[in-house]
């Protein structure tokens, strides 16, 4: 589905390399955590995957196509992308349903008249996310957790092959974060059943507590390089997080969830 080979990224006009020799393949139906500390290169890697920037070296194939073999605008229609940069572009006075439906046209704001079927699809998603009867509310009046749900629905409404969430829990309190993660699990299950296929997912975080059981694989990036690429279970059993943070990090399970504590 998405394949990066030997991808590197330099800052234009300087000798600084942000990403170096990244190899990563996301196959159909896989759910990945992209994990790394602040400034490790996570967001730039996503911008390369989504085609908003070009790598300085290496190749990127999306859905079987190289960068020059397809129209990147058409490719992006197959990718649902939620980022803080996108959220900030929206008018706080816009209605919830209009924000969700704008994802159909990949626009910031709704400038076309949606069809009856499209409106129904948006309302169905709002109901599944626990936002039934909130379609006419103003975005600016929602809590941060509710806003994140709305923008996630915007990313999902086009039935993308892959959903990419760039640190969606930033700024959320613990209850709002857990509510968002539960909504994500439910919506992915609903989308998979409705479309009779498994959608791929990349979830970006630097918090172990956000690695829920729906994620089987993890790509850890550090200083722009691949630090670990494999299963979540292997990352835990091999004490990868202790190596990453250079501190005694204990990862433990409570029920099905992972938690972390810092050793003294």
pLDDT tens per residue, range 202-253: 999 999 999 999 999 999 999 999 999 999 999 999 999 999 998 888 899 8
The whole-angstrom separation of Cα 131 and Cα 129 is: 6
Q: Residue 120: count other Cβ atoms within 10 Å of its Cβ.
A: 11
SS3 101: helix
pTM of the model: 0.90
The whole-angstrom separation of Cα 43 and Cα 34 is: 10
Banded pLDDT at 196 (limits 50, 70, 90): low
DSSP single-letter state for residue 95: B
- Please say whether the beta carbons of 185 and 192 come within 8 A: no
The answer to whether residue 164 scores a pLDDT higher than 80 is: yes
The answer to whether residue 85 scores a pLDDT higher than 80 is: no
Beta strands across the sheet bearing 217-222: 79-82, 162-166, 200-205, 31-35, 217-222, 225-231
């Amino acid at each position: 589905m998405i394949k990066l080979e030997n991808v590197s990224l330099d800052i234009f006009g300087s000798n600084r390399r942000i990403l170096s020799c990244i190899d990563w393949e996301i196959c159909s139906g896989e759910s990945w955590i992209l994990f790394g500390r602040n400034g490790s290169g996570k967001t730039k890697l996503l911008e390369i995957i989504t085609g908003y920037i070009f790598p300085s070296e290496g190749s990127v194939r999306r859905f079987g196509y190289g960068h020059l073999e397809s129209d990147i605008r058409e490719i992006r229609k197959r990718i649902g992308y939620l980022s803080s940069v996108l959220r900030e572009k929206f008018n706080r006075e816009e209605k919830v349903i209009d924000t969700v439906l704008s994802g159909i046209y990949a626009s910031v704001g709704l400038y076309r008249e949606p069809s009856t079927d499209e409106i129904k699809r948006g309302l169905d998603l709002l109901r599944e996310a626990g936002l039934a009867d909130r379609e006419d509310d103003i975005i600016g009046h929602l809590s941060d957790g509710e806003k994140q749900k709305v923008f996630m629905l915007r990313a999902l409404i086009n039935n993308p092959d892959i959903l990419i969430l760039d640190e969606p829990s930033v700024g959320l309190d613990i209850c709002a974060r857990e509510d968002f993660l539960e909504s994500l699990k439910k919506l992915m299950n609903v989308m998979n059943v409705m479309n009779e296929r498994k959608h791929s997912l990349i979830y970006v975080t630097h918090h172990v507590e956000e690695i829920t059981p729906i994620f089987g694989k993890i790509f850890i990036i550090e200083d722009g390089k691949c630090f670990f690429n494999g299963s979540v279970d292997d990352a835990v059993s091999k004490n990868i997080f202790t190596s990453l943070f250079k501190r005694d990090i204990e990862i433990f399970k409570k029920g099905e969830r992972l938690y972390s504590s810092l050793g003294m």
